[in-house]
Structure 1
C-alpha cells in the first residue's frame, strides 16, 4: 500500500536587514519545499528592512510569497503576519540564518497524525555538524533560577522525544493551536523567551512538543538580532524576559521559597562583578509585574497540567544529560 501524501506546509521566514542571509539560505529552503511530497509554500515577512532584501526577493526569488512591513515591528509581529498569510494547517518557522537539509520536512510532518501534538523541533547543528542545545530543551529550578539542563546528543540513541519547547527559529507547528494560544505573547517583545513561553502554554493545555533528530537544519552564528541590536541591549532584554517567564509559569511555592531568595543572592553577586545588564533587565521586568500576574491567572484558569508535571514528562524522555545545568543570564 502506498504511503499517504503528507499534508502541505507553509514555511515562514521573518527577515530584517538580512539580504545576505536570504541569499545564502533561501535556496536551500526552496529546494526543501520543492522536494517535500505534500507541497510547500515559502513566505518571507520583511520587517521593515533598509537593505537590499526587497530587491533581492523580487529579482532572485520571484516564487517566494512576500509579506511586507513598512517599519520594523519585531520578531513576533513578523511571525504573526506570516501565520495570517498561510493557507495551511502545518507551519514551519525558520530564522533567516537557518539552512535546512533537503529532506527535513517529512520527518517532522509525520508526527502530526497525533491530534494533540503542537510542535516538532528538528536537530539543530552548527556549520561543523555539532549539535546545538536548542534542539532539545529541559529546565530545572537550581540555585534560585530556572536553568537549562545540559545534555549530550548521542546519534546511536537518536529517537523522537518530548521537549519542553521548540526554538522559534526552527519548528513545525499547528496553525490552529498557535492561534488558539494567541501566538507569541506581546509582553516578550521585541525578542527572546517568546518561544519558551509558547511551548509551556501549549504543554499546559495538553499539547506537547517533540524533538525529531531525523530532521536536521544548520543554524549559523549570525542573525538579524545580533547584527542589528547592541550586545548590551540584547543581554538586558534576555534577562528581563527570563524574569517574566519565571513569574508567569513557575509555581508560587518555588517563587517564594527559591527564586526570591535566589534573586537577592544573584543581585549581590552581580553588584560585585559590575554586571549592570542584570539590573537593567530586572528593572525593566518589575514594572511589568501586574501584567505577568494577569497572564499567570489566565494561564492557570485554562491549564490542565502544571509546570512540574510537564517538566517531569520531558525529563522522562531520558536524553543523556549532565547533572549540572547551564548558567542562566
Structure 2
C-alpha cells in the first residue's frame, strides 16, 4: 500500500475537551498502513491547537485563520491533503476496531463509488442507531431526509437488520470517506450551506453525475452528536430549512421542480404553524428567516443550477423514496424503515 493512502480529517472548532476525550480512540483504532490523522482547526480560540501540538504530536495540524463552517473548513483542509482517500470525521466520534480498512477496501474494489459511510450508532446507547446517519441516508420526493434506522426522532435498535452493504442516497458528514481528488475537482462542499446538508448536496451531485454512495455495514463508529450545534438550537432550525431549499433547487430535475418547491414551501409553513402553536417562537422566526434568505439567494442559485445541469448524466435515483415520509410517519404511523413501501431498496 502506498504511503499517505488515507487521511482521517477531523474538523474542529472550539471543541478542545471533545478532542482530548475522543482523539486518542480515533488514533488507536486507525493504525492502518498509509493512514494519517489530521485535525483541521477552524480558527478555534479555546486552546485546541495547543492541545494537539502538546499532547498529540503524531497528528497533522492544519490551522485555518477563522471559522469557515463545516463546508468551508473541509474544503480548505482537503486542498492540503495528498492522500487518495479522505475521511470527514466528526470530533465526537469513537470508531470501532477495523472500521477503516473495510471502508478503504470497499472504495478500492468499486471505482464508481464516490463515497462510503459506516454504520453510525449512538455513543450514549451503543445498542441503537444514531440520529446523524444510522445505516445510510435517504430522501423522499419532497426533499425530507431520513435514515435507515432513524426516521425523524424514532431510533431503531441495531438488531443486525441492516447488514447488507450497498447503495444509499447520502452519507453523513459525521464519518464519510471520499476520493480526495474527486472531492476537490468537484469543488467540495457548497460553502453557502455553511453547516447542515452540504454533504447531502455533494452526494446528490455525485449521483447526478452517475456515481454511487455506499453504506458499508462491516464498518462501525459511535457518535456522540450535538458537539458543535445543539439539536434544539433555533439556528440549526434556520440552517436546516434554508439549506433544504438550497438542496432541492440545486439538484432536482427540471421536470416538476417548481411544483415541488411550491409544495415544499407550503409544508414549511405548516411546520412554522406547529412551532407557533407549541410556543416555539424562535423556531417560527427561524423558518421565516430561512425562506427570506432562500429567496434572496435565488438569483445566485439559478446560476449555480445552470452550471450543475451541464454535468448531469443521471436524473432518476432508486434511493429517492417515492412517497411522503411525513405522511407515512405522522399520519400512517410508519415509524421504521421496514414499514415503508420502498420498492427497490
Distance between the aligned counterparts of 1:296 and 1:43, measured in 2? 33
Query: Is the 8 Å Cα contact of residues 121 and 211 (structure 1) preserved in structure 2?
Result: yes
1:45 aligns with 2:47: no
Give the aligned partner of residue 323 of structure 1.
340
Distance between the aligned counterparts of 1:151 and 1:253, measured in 2? 28
- Determine helix, strand or coil for the equivalent of 2:192: helix
**Cα distance change, pair 276–60 in 1 and its aligned pair in 2 (3 A):** same
Query: Is the 8 Å Cα contact of residues 150 and 322 (structure 1) preserved in structure 2?
Result: no
2:188 to 161, 183, 200: 183
RMSD: 2.7
Gaps of 5+ in 1: none
Distance between the aligned counterparts of 1:292 and 1:8, measured in 2? 35
Give the aligned partner of residue 286 of structure 1.
295
- Determine helix, strand or coil for the equivalent of 1:209: strand
Deviation at 1:85, TM superposition (A): 2.3
1:213 aligns with 2:217: yes
Distance between the aligned counterparts of 2:239 and 2:102, measured in 1? 34
Give the aligned partner of residue 119 of structure 1.
115
Show CA shifts across 1:273-294 (max 9, x none). 4322211111111111112112
Give the aligned partner of residue 140 of structure 2.
140
Distance between the aligned counterparts of 2:322 and 2:181, measured in 1? 23
- Determine helix, strand or coil for the equivalent of 1:241: helix
Number of equivalenced pairs: 310
Show CA shifts across 1:150-186 (max 9, x none). 5446515501111111111201110111112110112
Give the aligned partner of residue 272 of structure 2.
270
1:12 aligns with 2:9: yes
- For residues 45-194 of structure 1, the aligned pairs below 5 Å read 45-112=40-107, 113-127=109-123, 128-129=125-126, 130-133=128-131, 134=133, 135-141=135-141, 145-149=142-146, 151-152=148-149, 154-189=159-194, 191-194=195-198
Give the aligned partner of residue 280 of structure 2.
none
Distance between the aligned counterparts of 2:51 and 2:8, measured in 1? 18
Distance between the aligned counterparts of 1:151 and 1:58, measured in 2? 39
Structure with bigger helix share is: 1
Distance between the aligned counterparts of 2:82 and 2:2, measured in 1? 17
Query: Is the 8 Å Cα contact of residues 138 and 148 (structure 2) preserved in structure 1?
Result: no
Q: Which stretches of structure 1, 4 residues or longer, exceed 6 Å deviation after superposition?
A: 4-7
Deviation at 1:148, TM superposition (A): 2.7
1:237 aligns with 2:233: no
Give the aligned partner of residue 328 of structure 2.
none
**Cα distance change, pair 314–299 in 1 and its aligned pair in 2 (3 A):** farther
- Determine helix, strand or coil for the equivalent of 2:45: coil
Deviation at 1:210, TM superposition (A): 0.3
